[in-house]
Amino acid sequence: MTILHVFNRYLQSGGEETAIEQIHRHLELRHEVPRCFFDSREWTGSDAPWKASQALRFFYNPSSKERFEQRVRETKSQATLFHNIYPVGSPSLYRSAVQKKLPVIQMLHNYRPFSVDGSLFYRGKPQSGPLHGKHLDEILSGAWQGSITRSAVCAMMLSMLRRSGWLKSVSAWVAISDFMRARFIESGIIPAHQIHTLKHSWDAMTYPPESSDAGYYLFLGRLIPEKGLHALISSWHELKSQLGPKTPTLKIAGEGPLSSWVKSQSTINPHLEYLGQISGNTKHEALRHCRALVAPSIWWEPLGLIVYEAYDFAKPVLAARAGGLTETVQHRVTGLLHDVGSSSALAVDILSMESMSDEQRRTMGQNGRSWLLREASVKSWQDQFDGILSSVV
């Protein structure tokens, strides 16, 4: 079958874009998967449309609709797979798919099309109001790109989608965790029978590299409040007050708005080490030698692919009970779960991990790798996706 793959790239690539490329690879093993990709950078620089024009095209972009329809004709696609389509793609793509009688499978990597910035996170915590069309607080907090104006424009577009019925053009919705699926059903817009759960697959290493435990803990991710950096670093200050020079090292890798703050905290506490952005072999080595990965998110994490990465290296994970993390981290089996935002609870889990024997920690990591091989196999993902595809085509 030919499935037109539709995605609007973000200004800053991240885990979602990595997941989309992986989905593309895995689909290509069974289907023809031509691309129809847009790029947010098209609206930056000297050649970008005027701001007023961008605002109008955010609601309905005729040029994107034309590009989409041209790709449909060229590829003779029989179905479409949508990811993020904002801002350049625009909701015009939904309308075009209806006109062309093309089934739309909408992958849900975050909480759009019900949240202005896709996170449902503002004023320091997750909020369910936008699921029910209540966007005022989200707007006033400047949830999208820190701008009240842009947030208001986006909220207007989302409200239009709800009222216009364009979302009914989606034949199947695919959430990446049961937690996400439940939140979207809660919105009252998507019928339960139309939304499926399909966790990400993973190209696991055939044999993980020989693992070693250098005694440090590792955080990998964007340095933003949602990721629980404040609770994480507070827990390390607590550990320092209890353990003194015996406090284990926490290595923090990533970039984002909190980068300067993380650097400053590392000057206060000698057991904090800021690595900056790492990738490739440097990232692999950091994972291979860590004692455990820490994922202290305070937002409703859709799934958390970083857990998959840790399991691939047979490392345990210490995570918050936040969103989809509870579906990948099994308490006292593949890692430890702590209450969201509690630095004290996280410190207790670190102390618990420190009290374990090397063999106990290795067993947790091996359990995680077994979970990954069992639950995230490519063939299983393909079979489940094809089941969804056959239900709409």
| Dihedral angle sign, alpha carbons of residues 177, 182, 183, 188 | positive
Residue 274 backbone phi and psi in degrees, to 5 = -95, 125
**Nearest residue to 80 via CA among 126, 130, 27, 153:** 27
pLDDT at residue 72, as a whole number: 97
- Same domain for 331 and 255, yes or no, is yes
Please check whether residues 297 and 351 belong to one and the same domain.
yes
Distance, CA of 134 to CA of 140 (rounded, Å): 12
pLDDT tens, the chain, 393 aa long: 999 999 999 987 778 898 999 999 999 999 999 999 999 999 998 888 898 898 899 899 999 999 999 999 999 999 999 999 999 999 999 999 999 999 999 999 999 888 998 999 999 999 999 999 999 999 999 998 889 998 998 999 888 888 877 778 899 999 999 999 999 999 888 899 999 999 999 999 998 888 799 999 999 999 999 999 999 999 999 999 999 999 999 999 999 999 999 999 999 999 999 999 999 999 999 999 999 999 999 999 999 899 999 999 999 999 999 999 999 999 999 999 999 999 999 999 999 999 999 999 999 999 999 999 999 999 999 999 999 999 999
In the prediction, which pLDDT does 167 show? 79
CATH number at residue 153: 3.40.50.2000
Please report where in the chains the tokens 């009970």 appear, as a residue: 321
pLDDT at 160: 85
Same domain, 42 and 124: yes
Q: Please report the pLDDT score of residue 46 as a whole number.
A: 85
Same structural domain for residues 244 and 364?
Answer: yes
Indicate whether 161 belongs to any domain: yes
Alpha-helical segments (H) within 90-135: 92-99
My answer on whether 187 and 282 are in the same domain is no
Task: Go through 363-392 and write b for each residue having 16 or more CB atoms within 10 A of its CB, e for each that does not.
Answer: bbbbbbbebbeebbeeeebbebbeebbeee
Let me know: does 32 contact 75? Beta carbons within 8 Å: yes
Q: What is the tally of structural domains in the chain? A: 2
Backbone angles phi, psi at 81, to 5 degrees: -120, 115
Residue with tokens 């200004």: 11
- Do 11 and 120 lie in one domain? The reply is yes
Residue written as tokens 């999208």? 144
Residue 111: closest CA among 93, 96, 131: 131
Is 240 inside any structural domain?
A: yes
Task: Tell me the residue range of the domain where 261 lies.
Answer: 217-375
Residue 211 lies in a domain: no
Residues 259, 158 share a domain? no
Amino acid at 131: L
- Is residue 235 located within the same domain as residue 172? no
Q: How many CA atoms lie within 13 A of 316 on its CB side?
A: 28
Lookup result for tokens 């949602």: 226
> Is there a single domain that holds both residue 103 and residue 134?
yes
